[in-house]
Amino acid sequence: MQHRVRGWTLAGLVLAWPATGAALQAPAALSAAPAPGATLELALCPHLAPETGARCGTYHVWEDRDAGSGRRLGLDVIVLPATGDDPQPDPMVFLAGGPGVGATAFAPGLLDWPVRTRRDIVLVDQRGTGGDHRLACDDPDRDPDAPLDLQAAIDPGFDLDALLACRDRIGDRADLDLYTTPIAMDDLDEVLDALGYGAVNLLGGSYGTRAGLVFMRRHGDRVRCAILEGVAPFAMRNPLMHAPAAQRAIDLLFDACAADPEQPALVDVTHPQTGEPVQVRLSREAFAESVRAMSYMSTTAVGLPALIHAAHGGAYETFVLHGAQTASGVFDAIAMGMLLCVTCPADVVHITEQDVLRYTAGTYLGDGRVRRQMAICEQWPLGELPPDYTDPVAVDVPMLIISGLYDPVTPPSFGELVAAAQASARHVVVPRAHDLWGGCLDELERAFLEHPEPNVLDTSCVEDMTLPPFVLPLEEAR
């Protein structure tokens, strides 16, 4: 059976994408634009095979929900109907990470997810992530057919001038104060009403866990249960905690590599698309950001010790290629303007100079990323949030919380923090990075959905989970 492919992201890192190009296409608007509060009619998705039964549509909400007038935003919606003989009325609602990634892109990877035998899967693009309301900060002068610019890809992101220019461009067509998480979760509640659903189940990873917590705070009466993978609590103050979380993950990874029985900065690179020689300047910060990016997936994390070993000996080319391709995928996929609309008022404004010194000192990542994002947010529109937005969420909803032991961005301590505030929650830590799906975890989630009783859930399969084999340095693998 094909396992789902999904990509949890948080503040700029994409982990996995569906394999086909079609997966990244937004579904067509197959129904007339309904007035808010109307029902939503769906039709077969044009970019997915008819036999999958996937149904698409577009639901329009007011950009300014309080005013109920002005601009309308078309939120793309995909529903994957339950395939079994005994479908349940409560669907699984998929909350994408990022922030800045649309949920509908992941529909192809969820077609064969075991959960679908009993429940519909609902994917709704959050405002700012899709269609003509996507708050992307792509370079307007970039030729989409040009080969990848390796230097630009490997250099650290969050360039102040580029993102302030983006603010001015997208500010002409969007009120950037109105793309916060609470507003988006009210959109989602309205879409679920339009689809005719009552009680729902939530699945969120990374930023999707925070979106889920906000949804439960505002609309908890309709949530039957929730599954949170790689939790991003409000105390995280994104991206303040990136440096210590990344340091913890790499320390643990090196410890695991050392204990494994099989374990034993101008760079000339051959461009993977053109075959031409290219010289790339690899700075210390670019190296560190690339390490963090490749730490997200267990399958790439286990290759890091070998890549770093080779770089230590002066062989940087393979590292540069891996780092550039990872970063390019990230910034192509994320609507960076939407990410800033979410993180600036919710996280960055609460970061102090003392915080930066405390959390980044002694880490390989350092303070570059958090300071760049702070500088941008000083000049970015700040959406209004409820006074209690950063308070811990405590709801009477059964929760299964899953954390990766080697996760470089949402470590197990975050999951424990959220679990401790709940009346009924089970926190499971597994030997993975930020990629928390497949095999045992799919079965755990399926079992939890059938019987959302955290305390009696059988998690014994986790004991047999291990990291993928470590990659040996090339000279030792011969």
Q: Mind giving me the DSSP string for 235-295?
A: GGTTTTTHHHHHHHHHHHHHHHHHH-TT---EEEEE-TTT--EEEEE--HHHHHHHHHHHT
Query: What integer pLDDT is reported at residue 331 of this predicted model?
Result: 74
Query: What integer pLDDT is reported at residue 320 of this predicted model?
Result: 87
Q: What are phi and psi of 73, to 5 degrees?
A: -115, 125
Closest to 75 (Cα-Cα) out of 11, 6, 133, 2: 133
Cβ neighbour number for residue 420 with a 10 Å cutoff: 11
Query: What integer pLDDT is reported at residue 126 of this predicted model?
Result: 97
Query: What integer pLDDT is reported at residue 266 of this predicted model?
Result: 85
326 CB contacts (<8 Å, ≥6 apart)? Answer: 290, 293, 294, 300
Asked whether residue 40 is domain-assigned, the answer is: yes
Asked whether residue 392 is domain-assigned, the answer is: yes
Asked whether residue 37 is domain-assigned, the answer is: yes
Query: What integer pLDDT is reported at residue 473 of this predicted model?
Result: 66
Query: How many Å apart are CA 327 and CA 15, to the nearest integer?
Result: 11
Q: Say which CATH number the domain at 457 has.
A: 3.40.50.1820
Residue that has been written with the tokens 């401790």 in this structure? 420
Query: How many Å apart are CA 460 and CA 81, to the nearest integer?
Result: 30
For 130, the token pair is: 């899709």
Query: What integer pLDDT is reported at residue 285 of this predicted model?
Result: 85
Asked whether residue 342 is domain-assigned, the answer is: no
Asked whether residue 39 is domain-assigned, the answer is: yes
Q: Which domain holds residue 29?
A: 21-145+174-237+387-464
Tens-binned pLDDT, residue by residue, of the chain (478 aa):
333 444 444 333 333 323 222 332 333 333 334 454 578 999 999 999 999 999 999 999 999 999 999 999 999 999 999 999 999 999 999 999 989 999 999 999 999 999 999 999 999 999 999 988 999 988 887 887 888 888 888 788 888 999 999 999 999 999 999 999 999 999 999 999 999 999 999 999 999 999 999 999 999 999 999 999 998 888 878 888 888 888 998 899 888 877 776 643 788 888 988 889 888 888 888 888 888 888 888 988 888 888 888 888 888 888 888 888 877 777 777 888 999 999 999 999 999 999 999 999 988 888 999 999 999 999 999 999 999 999 999 999 999 999 999 998 899 999 999 999 999 999 999 999 998 988 999 999 999 999 999 999 999 999 999 998 888 764 443 3
Asked whether residue 260 is domain-assigned, the answer is: no
Asked whether residue 416 is domain-assigned, the answer is: yes
CB 105 within 8 A of CB 17: yes
Asked whether residue 119 is domain-assigned, the answer is: yes
Q: Report the domain count for the chain.
A: 1
Query: How many Å apart are CA 474 and CA 197, to the nearest integer?
Result: 54
